Structure 1
Amino acid sequence: MKKIIINSLLACFVLTAIPVTILAQSQKPTLNHIALSVKNLAKSTAFYSKIIQLDTIPEPFHDGRHTWFSIASNSHLHLIEYPDPIIVPGKGTHLCFRVPSIEDFIQRLEKNNIPYSNWQGENKAVTTRVDGVKQLYLQDPDGYWIEINNDK
């Protein structure tokens, strides 16, 4: 009888532990959005639409102070016009977007007179990482750093 009770308790423990493990794995955090404060919403919206080529998506506020962009499946970039001073960190803190062609992206930058550089800061230069990925850096209208690369 003791053996049956112990086995039954063990079976209950195992059966209840399995769903908890599966649940824990499926509940890992995923990126929802990145929010950036901007001084001029129209100017920043135009930059991310025209230069970075992100698509806008509906935003719920409809107050003229927000623009939302789709950056990946279920991930967004939110621009929020905000009057406080914007403190921009160094180049090591940046957004990164992958493009199919660095050369085509450079043509868009040059056509729009937007400066870019490599990691070391050399103007109009591209870094080739040890893994062969090409990358360049530019700043948005508020000075936030953006990396563009051709990673697969």
Structure 2
Amino acid sequence: MILFPVLLALAAAPQAAAAMPAQAAPTKPAQAEHVAIQAADIDRSATFYHEAFGLRVIPTPLKNRRWLDLGNGLALHILDGRTAPKPSNRNEHLALHVDDLATVTAWLDQRHLVWTDLAGTQRMMQLRFDGVRQIYVQDPDGYWLEIGDSRGVPSK
């Protein structure tokens, strides 16, 4: 009968696992190093992030990449080669914190770029549950960004 050998194998599994050496847990948790996105025009994308949010350009020896400093040891890597639009989903986003959201929205308005609250209402800041003002905007390739500051009551 096939059932009996299967039962014997299952009964022996805990003993086999106990005989294996235990794997040591990491002594230090992993830390984020970079976020990578793919762009149709890496220079246009790098310029957007630099001008809109003040991200510092990091020199890279690679010609088909642009790197920007997100702070705290984290970088944004912009890779070339995007040929199709990025699917639109506000819930999948990179969150950035800026000193003054009004400065960012003025920059976006000057360039006629759409910014919204989470619900999609154009030109509407919202107040997050923790008191941070925030907006959502798409970069030149359609990636969603949540931009927040801590300046208080949202304005219209």
Secondary structure in 2 matching 1:43: helix
Which residue is 1:11 aligned to?
Answer: none
What is the TM-score of this pair, normalised by structure 1? Answer: 0.76
Shift of 1:151: 4.3
Deviations 1:94-137 (CA, angstroms, capped at 9, x unpaired): 01110111122211211222210000100000111222211100
Which residue is 1:119 aligned to?
Answer: 118
Residue pair 1:38, 1:86 contacting (<8 A) in 2 also: no
The structure with more helix, counted as a fraction of residues:
1
4+ residue runs over 6 A deviation: none
Letter in 2 for 1:118: D
Counterpart mapping for 1:79-118 below 5 A: 79-118=78-117
Name stretches of at least 5 consecutive residues in structure 1 with no aligned partner: 1-19
Distance (Å, rounded) in 1 between the aligned partners of 2:84 and 2:31 = 30
1:44 and 2:54 are equivalent in the alignment: no
Secondary structure in 2 matching 1:122: coil
Letter in 2 for 1:137: Y
Shift of 1:83: 4.4
What is the TM-score of this pair, normalised by structure 2? Answer: 0.74
Secondary structure in 1 matching 2:116: coil
Letter in 1 for 2:141: D
Which residue is 2:32 aligned to?
Answer: 31
Letter in 2 for 1:28: P
Distance (Å, rounded) in 1 between the aligned partners of 2:87 and 2:70 = 21
Which residue is 1:16 aligned to?
Answer: none
1:129 and 2:128 are equivalent in the alignment: yes
Residue pair 2:86, 2:143 contacting (<8 A) in 1 also: no
Deviations 1:2-51 (CA, angstroms, capped at 9, x unpaired): xxxxxxxxxxxxxxxxxx88x71xx2111100000001112111111111
Q: Percent identity?
A: 25
CA RMSD of aligned residues (A): 1.9
Shift of 1:86: 4.6
Shift of 1:89: 4.8
Q: Which moved more, 1:116-125 or 1:105-114?
A: 105-114
Shift of 1:143: 0.4
Distance (Å, rounded) in 1 between the aligned partners of 2:53 and 2:84 = 24
Secondary structure in 1 matching 2:95: strand
Distance (Å, rounded) in 1 between the aligned partners of 2:82 and 2:147 = 28
